[in-house]
Amino acid sequence: MATRETNLINPNAEIVASSQCLMVNVAAARGLQSVLKSNLGPRGTLKMLVGGAGQIKITKDGNVLLHEMQIQHPTAMMIARAATAMDDEVGDGTTTAVLFIGELLKQAERFTSEGLHPRLITEGFEAARDMTLEFLDAFKVPQPKIFHDRETLVNVARSSLRSKLSQDVADKMAEAVVDCVLSIAVEGEPIDLHMVEIMEMQHRQASESTFIKGLVLDHGARHPDMPTSLENCHILTCNVSMEYEKTEISSGFYYSSAEQREKLVESERKFTDEKVKQVIDFKRRVCQAGDNKTFVVINQKGIDPMSLDMLAKEGIMALRRAKRRNMERLALACGGTAVNSFDDVEPSVLGYAGRVREETLGEEKFTFVEDVQQGKSCTLLLRGPNKHTIDQLKDAARDGLRAVKNAIEDAALVPGAGAFEVAAYRMLQRRKSAVTGRARLGVEAFAQALLTIPKTLAENSGLDVQESVIKVEEEQERDEQPVGLDLTTGETFLPAAEGIWDSPSVKKQIISLSTVLATQLLLVDEVMKAGKAMGKPAQDMMDEE
């Protein structure tokens, strides 16, 4: 590498400058694009990630891939970070964003290699972006009543999930995901997806994952004599220690005979026993004999064996050490409030569940709190025969939930299956003439880059790329309908009629974020990396070991 001024300042620094720098950036973006390309869409293939300890992950979710791959090249890392940040924001579209950025740079490179200044291209990009966003607003289909339209929501969830899971599992999950969101959502209020507990159980098969109207806790009662299944349950959620607590200061007993010691042992227990008795009294008050009511205590703190024994004798099911977040959810799901003391408890603090039952899976226990009264919190129960299946489901479930949430909050949808991209491409080609000067080339590049999405979809389905895209384009020209590409047959169809929907906010994010990032990368003319100040680089030391 040629010595440059900066090297005088820090001889260890590594520098890539001017045209070479642009090449590196473009190559990195395209490299990343080619990696993720095969994973796009419902017919994309899977990638297997093997972690440091040999753990297996199988996925085609772009977000997961970028997180797990530990990319080190600075440019690629920047794109990966931006794309995953988008996932945090809207929950989907990671792969699309990476592909789009790569394609934007690839298109731009065509012109820069002919000597066009990157600045002019970026101007074109920005103009094209504004036009596309404007077009998106006009193109999207408003769905003012989507909150009550379960079928459409299921379609939305299905479109999102099918690109991450196999078809039959995706279809089952779509239903479950929509049930979850509808159960916690209140019309007109923002949706808090944290209120959906995602619980995993490793058994049976992935397609048996279900929505549970209530909560599933990943622990069970710790006493053999406690009931394992109850109906018509009062639920008492509390945060009271029902075990012996050590004093904070150092303390001890002095005694000089066994009788005295027995008394001390007794007095020690008394404090805890009192609390347990309060619970038992309370239970007797609310559960009269013959009214078929049962009582469940869910405690955030501990309950010691003796207290458990007392509760078990009363037929109370008691769970100890519940998770904090579950306490919150329990109150939302079953009603009632969590109490911090058993003094003067009123029946109004109790929640209600139609059924509480325990299920044992090998060593692990799960408690199902079902048929709850209020249901402002619910559980998505994921099942799968092995860890990697469950992980895949979990990542997909998150995205599915987000997709439904977006649809409700946007109250609008965009026809999927490449329909929007092709339509936007046609729009840009038409309006290109309005842009003056060399920036027009940027618009041209942008329009071409948009087509990468339908092209990749076609490619992954084993279709003829050019033919498919042209077919869609012609069809759109003919009757001005949002026509997309059917990936199973290779023919054109109306995605809206088939229920293939994308979220406008995801599309919007992809377009604006990709443009910004591509613009930034194009305008970089020098990359500097500071040299390691101390001794040898880490890798060398490892090799000598």
Partner 1 sequence: MAKSMNLNAAAGLKGMLKDGFKTYDGLYGAVFRNIEAAKAIAGMVRTSLGPNGMNKLVVNHLEKIIVTSDCASILNELEVQHPAAKLLVLAAQMQDNEFGDQTNFVVSFAGELLKLAEELLKNGLHTAEVVTGYQRAYQKTMEILPTLVVRSIDNIRDAEELKTGIRSVLATKQFGYEDILSDLVVQATLTTLSPTAKVPKLNIDSVRIAKLKGGSLDQSNVIKGMVILRDAEGLIKRAENAKVAVFGCGIEAAATEAKGTVLLKSAEELLNYNKSEERKMEEVIESIAATGVKVVIANGSISEMAQHFLDKFEIMVVKIQSKFDLRRICGAVRATAAVRLGPPTPEEIGECSLVEVREIGGRKVTVFNQVLDEDTTVATIAVRASTENVLNDVERALDDGIHSVKTLFHDGRLLAGAGAVELELARQLKAYAEEDKGLDQYAIRKFAEAFEVVPRTLAENSGADATSTIHALNTAHLAEGGKNIGFNVEDSVPFDAAAAHVYDLYATKFNALRLAVDAAITVLKVDQIVMAKPAGGPKPRSGAQDPDM
* Stretch near partner 1 under the rule CB under 8 A, chosen from 69-77, 146-154, 408-416, 420-428: 69-77
Sign of CA dihedral 488, 494, 497, 500: positive
Catalytic residue status for 96: no
Quick one: 175 exposed, middle or buried, by C-beta within 10 A (0-12, 13-18, 19+)?
A: middle
Catalytic residue status for 152: no
Check: CB of residue 63 under 8 Å from CB of residue 83: yes
Q: Scanning residues 9 to 38, which ones bind partner 1 (CB under 8 A)?
A: 14, 16, 24, 27-28, 31-32, 34-35, 38
User: Using the rule CB under 8 A, is 142 a contact of partner 1?
Assistant: no
Q: How far is the CB of 276 from partner 1 (least distance, A)?
A: 13
* Stretch near partner 1 under the rule CB under 8 A, chosen from 187-195, 199-207, 394-402, 477-485: 199-207
User: Using the rule CB under 8 A, is 265 a contact of partner 1?
Assistant: yes
- The residue from 2, 8, 9, 53 that contacts partner 1 (CB under 8 A) is 53
Count of chain residues binding partner 1 (CB under 8 A): 71
The residue among 144 and 224 lying less far from partner 1, judged by its C-beta, is 224
Q: How far is the CB of 197 from partner 1 (least distance, A)?
A: 24
Count of C-beta atoms within a 10 Å radius of residue 448 = 17
- The residue from 40, 41, 42, 49 that contacts partner 1 (CB under 8 A) is 49
Q: How far is the CB of 177 from partner 1 (least distance, A)?
A: 22
Q: Scanning residues 442 to 501, which ones bind partner 1 (CB under 8 A)?
A: 461-462
* Stretch near partner 1 under the rule CB under 8 A, chosen from 65-73, 157-165, 328-336, 419-427: 65-73
Q: What token pair was written down for 314?
A: 């009363």
The residue among 189 and 363 lying less far from partner 1, judged by its C-beta, is 363
Q: What token pair was written down for 77?
A: 């890392």
Catalytic residue status for 45: no
Q: Scanning residues 227 to 246, which ones bind partner 1 (CB under 8 A)?
A: 244, 246
For the chain, the straight-line distance linking the first and the last C-alpha, in angstroms and rounded, comes to 30
User: Using the rule CB under 8 A, is 76 a contact of partner 1?
Assistant: yes
Nearest to 330 by CA among 359, 293, 304, 367: 367
Three-state secondary structure string covering 195-219: HEEEEEECCCCHHHCEEECEEEECC
Catalytic residue status for 61: yes
- The residue from 70, 340, 341, 374 that contacts partner 1 (CB under 8 A) is 70
- Cα angle value 123/127/136 (rounded, 5°): 150
Three-state secondary structure string covering 292-356: CCEEEEEECCCECHHHHHHHHHCCCEEECCCCHHHHHHHHHHHCCCCECCCCCCCHHHCEEEEEE
* Stretch near partner 1 under the rule CB under 8 A, chosen from 351-359, 419-427, 498-506, 529-537: 529-537
* Stretch near partner 1 under the rule CB under 8 A, chosen from 120-128, 174-182, 211-219, 259-267: 259-267
Q: How far is residue 129 from each of residues 22, 80, 174, 256, measured CA to CA in Å?
A: 22, 21, 32, 87
Check: CB of residue 356 under 8 Å from CB of residue 229: yes
Q: How far is residue 154 from each of residues 132, 160, 178, measured CA to CA in Å?
A: 28, 10, 6
The single-letter DSSP state of residue 242 is B
- The residue from 17, 58, 411, 494 that contacts partner 1 (CB under 8 A) is 58
The residue among 268 and 480 lying less far from partner 1, judged by its C-beta, is 268
User: Using the rule CB under 8 A, is 74 a contact of partner 1?
Assistant: yes
Catalytic residue among 59, 75, 94, 152: 94
User: Using the rule CB under 8 A, is 535 a contact of partner 1?
Assistant: no
Binding mask 274-313 for partner 1 (x = CB under 8 A): -------------------------------xx--x----
Tell me how far apart the alpha carbons of residues 302 and 170 are, in angstroms, rounded to a whole number.
40
Check: CB of residue 101 under 8 Å from CB of residue 79: yes
Catalytic residue among 75, 84, 95, 237: 95
User: Using the rule CB under 8 A, is 533 a contact of partner 1?
Assistant: no
User: Using the rule CB under 8 A, is 271 a contact of partner 1?
Assistant: no
Which residues are catalytically annotated?
61, 94-95, 399
